[in-house]
Amino acid sequence: MPLAGNVTPAPAGLRGFDANTPISAAAAKAFWDAGYRFALRYVGRTQMASRDLTTAEAEILLNQGFGLMPVQHVLNPGWQPTTALGQQYGANAAKFSQQIGFPPGVTVWCDLESVSNDASSADVIGYCNAWYTAVADAGYVPGLYVGYEPGLTGKQLYGSLKFSSYWAAYNVDGVSNPKPRSWQLVQLVGSGTIGGLSTEVYDADETRTDGKGGTAVWLQR
């Protein structure tokens, strides 16, 4: 069953969070009371784990009022991207998002960071564009989280990839800014423990309107 809600462009200037652990109803209320208005939670690469987003948790977050989007886990630092891997992981990102209940039109995020120093630009571009196509073919809006050592420059991110939605990690360098489009989400350093969750398991984020007028798109009630 699809999750109930509206597929909505994200207004600029809202504070949210991404977390690598399940969010209980009590934690969701604590984040809401602290001024957070959207959430990003993870789906797997090849299978879903106990720490990943479930339909039940999505219901908790949506009922609290959050805008909600999924993001896929990245491999351990030093991973080697390939076109085949991008196709596999992108197809799974779409499949798991569908299984949770996300309707078409929501931004589903790919995590690009800590790429092997041996990976060529062509390897990274092939991975990203294959991931994009698999997610777009399922009706979602593919987005790209750009972290430390993404394997591409900002010029390549903007000019060689199919993506038009970008999310900046808190530790991304200026060389990796995909100008002139730039960012729809910007990750910030979390500020203290909220709802029993420390900054080791969550980061704060802020919505932006990018240089081309684009915004992230989330599900919200």
pLDDT tens digit string along 57-114? 999 999 999 999 999 999 999 999 999 999 999 999 999 999 999 999 999 999 999 9
Residue 1 pLDDT class (50, 70, 90 cuts): confident
So what's the pLDDT on residue 153? 97
Residue 11's nearest CA partner among 191, 194, 190, 185 is 185
- How large is the average pLDDT for residues 51-55? 98
Residue 78 lies in a domain: yes
Q: From CA 99, how far away is CA 151, in angstroms rounded?
A: 31
- We report the CATH number of the domain holding residue 131 as 3.20.20.80
Residue 33: both structure tokens together: 């009371």
Residue 156 lies in a domain: yes
Residue 122 pLDDT class (50, 70, 90 cuts): very high
Residue 1 lies in a domain: no
Residue 210 lies in a domain: yes
Q: What is the mean pLDDT of the chain?
A: 97
Q: Which range marks the domain in which residue 74 is found?
A: 6-220
Residue 33 lies in a domain: yes
CA distances from 108 to 92, 100, 120, 158, 196 (A): 11, 12, 25, 18, 27
Q: Count of domains in the chain?
A: 1
Q: From CA 40, how far away is CA 192, in angstroms rounded?
A: 18
Question: pLDDT tens-digit profile of 9-33?
Answer: 999 999 999 999 999 999 999 999 9
Question: pLDDT tens-digit profile of 95-107?
Answer: 999 999 999 999 9
So what's the pLDDT on residue 191? 75
Residue 157 lies in a domain: yes
Residue 207's nearest CA partner among 190, 183, 182, 171 is 183
Residue 206 lies in a domain: yes
